[in-house]
């Protein structure tokens, strides 16, 4: 559970925020997971939109709330919680209306969510390469500098996660995007995980059991992103495909994971560009 210490919180105004406040971004997969969870549980929450494309997450104001510079963040009656899976576990306990993290499955759920979190940067590699042009995805050097110079402390200790984020964005600028070997590697990671999930779904209705849990929501969000960038599941992952399309027929699941219209347009034009320059996903998939 990552709950910030009082000394970590530099943006003091949030100490006065009442109720459930969520700092999030429409296109962020971790935010999408949290928003679907909140809807499923019928929890009332106040929205604070942080535009990652504009670099709002590297402003002093936001870094004073989350020194890692990432969304989502929960401010619950002035207490600041970070890490999407920790936020969800905390809220699932606090609002026991419809349990999505059942206690009797907690070991399996934690194992799957840890794996999901560990491959988050693989999803980001694929998103940054295939959803929109590099110039749109690239952070401004002045924002990165501000991030680098901001506080390094979370829970009172020097934070490794911040360094990981910083390295990602610096490499993105240095390589002018995501390099080929990282893309191949991330595709390989996902193929392996999809096989595992497909195998679980051959045994029961949902990934963990016959009941919907947070793991289904988390993986649905990942698969939607993979679908958007051009992955298809029907042929190689039949159980996963059936489960995916059933969840996609739920309006909330679909809406929360759809690209905003302007990005949808940019993304379709960009896909044509990738196709004509021989950089489209299919080409990588065939090589893998
Ligand atoms: N492990 C973190 C990962 C959070 C994360 O990386 N969030 C992404 C959006 S999904 C982000 O804020 N990225 C900032 C950026 O790309 O500038 C969590 O689960 O909350």
Sequential pLDDT tens for the chain (288 residues): 789 999 999 999 999 999 999 999 999 999 999 999 999 999 999 999 999 999 999 999 999 999 999 999 999 999 999 999 999 999 999 999 899 999 999 999 999 999 999 999 999 999 999 999 999 999 999 999 999 999 999 998 999 999 999 999 999 999 999 999 999 999 999 999 999 999 999 999 999 999 999 999 999 999 999 999 999 999 999 999 999 999 999 999 999 999 989 999 999 999 999 999 998 898 888 765
Pick the atom of ligand 1 nearest to 139's CA.
Answer: 17
In angstroms, the CA 29 to CA 108 distance is 22
120 lines ligand 1 (CB under 6 A): yes
**Confidence (pLDDT) at 80:** 97
In the chain the first and final C-alpha atoms are separated, in Å, by: 37
Q: What's the rounded Cα separation, in Å, for the pair 62 and 78?
A: 15
83 lines ligand 1 (CB under 6 A): yes
Residue 171 Cα to ligand 1 middle (Å): 16
Give SS3 for 243.
helix
Closest to 27 (Cα-Cα) out of 71, 69, 65: 71
Query: Which residue in 40, 207, 204, 233 sits closest to 112, CA to CA?
Result: 207
Question: Rounded to the nearest whole angstrom, what is the distance from the C-alpha of residue 126 to the centroid of ligand 1?
Answer: 14
The answer to whether 107 touches 213, Cβ cutoff 8 Å, is no
DSSP 119: T
The rounded distance, in Å, linking the Cα atoms of 255 and 10 is 34
Q: How would CATH label the architecture of 2-100?
A: 3-Layer(aba) Sandwich (3.40)
Domain ranges, ordered by start, for the chain: 2-100, 106-138+177-287
Quote the CA–CA distance of 217 and 32 in Å, as a whole number.
Answer: 9
For residues 86 and 260, what is the distance between their CA atoms, to the nearest angstrom?
27
CA pair distance 132, 266, nearest whole angstrom: 7
Locate the DSSP E strands across the chain: 2-3, 20-24, 46-49, 73-76, 79-82, 153-154, 157-158
CATH class of 106-138+177-287: mainly alpha
CB 101 within 8 A of CB 48: no
Cβ burial of 142 (10 Å; 0-12, 13-18, 19+) is exposed
CA atoms within 13 A on the CB side of 11: 16
Whether the CB of 84 sits within 6 Å of ligand 1? yes
- Substitution candidate for ligand 1 out of 30, 72, 81 with most atoms within 8 A of CB: 30
State in Å: Cα 203 to ligand 1 middle. Answer: 32
**Is 52 a pocket residue for ligand 1 (Cβ < 6 Å)?**
yes
- Cβ of 75 less than 6 Å from ligand 1: no
Q: Is residue 59 in contact with ligand 1, taking CB distance under 6 Å?
A: no
Q: How far is the CA of 71 from the centre of ligand 1 (A)?
A: 5
Q: Cα(246)–Cα(220) distance, rounded to whole angstroms?
A: 10
Q: How much is the pTM?
A: 0.97
| Pocket perturbation via mutation, ligand 1, pick of 4, 62, 74, 120 by most ligand atoms within 8 A of CB | 120
Tokens of 78: 């002035």
> How far, in Å, is the centroid of ligand 1 from the Cα of 201?
27
Question: Sign of the CA dihedral 113, 114, 118, 119?
Answer: negative
The pLDDT, as a whole number, for residue 287 is 65
Q: What is the pLDDT of residue 176?
A: 95
* Ramachandran angles phi, psi of 205, nearest 5°: -65, -40
């Amino acid at each position: 559970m990552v709950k910030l210490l009082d000394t970590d919180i530099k943006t003091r105004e949030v100490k006065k925020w009442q109720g459930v406040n969520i700092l999030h971004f429409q296109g962020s997969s971790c935010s999408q997971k949290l928003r679907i969870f909140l809807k499923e549980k019928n929890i009332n929450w106040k929205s604070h939109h942080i535009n990652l494309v504009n670099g709002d997450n590297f402003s002093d104001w936001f870094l004073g709330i989350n020194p890692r510079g990432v969304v989502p963040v929960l401010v619950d009656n002035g207490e600041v919680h970070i890490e999407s899976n920790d936020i969800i576990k905390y809220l699932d306990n606090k609002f026991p209306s419809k349990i999505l993290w059942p206690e009797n499955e907690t070991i399996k759920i934690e194992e799957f969510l840890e794996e999901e979190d560990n491959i988050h940067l693989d999803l980001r590699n694929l998103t940054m390469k295939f959803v929109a042009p590099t110039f749109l995805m690239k952070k401004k050097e002045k924002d990165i500098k501000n991030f680098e110079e901001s506080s390094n402390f979370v829970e009172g200790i020097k934070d490794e996660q911040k360094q990981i984020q910083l390295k990602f964005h610096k490499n993105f600028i240095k390589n002018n995007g995501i390099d080929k070997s990282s893309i191949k590697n991330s595709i390989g990671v996902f193929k392996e995980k999809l096989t595992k999930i497909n195998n679980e779904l051959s045994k029961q209705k949902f990934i963990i059991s016959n009941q919907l849990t947070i793991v289904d929501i988390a993986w649905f969000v990942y698969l939607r992103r993979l679908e958007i960038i051009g992955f298809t599941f029907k042929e190689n992952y039949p159980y996963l495909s059936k489960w995916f399309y059933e969840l996609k027929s739920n309006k909330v699941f679909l809406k929360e994971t759809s690209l905003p219209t302007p990005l949808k347009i940019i993304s379709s034009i960009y896909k044509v560009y990738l196709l004509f320059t021989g950089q489209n996903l299919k080409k990588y998939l065939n090589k893998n």
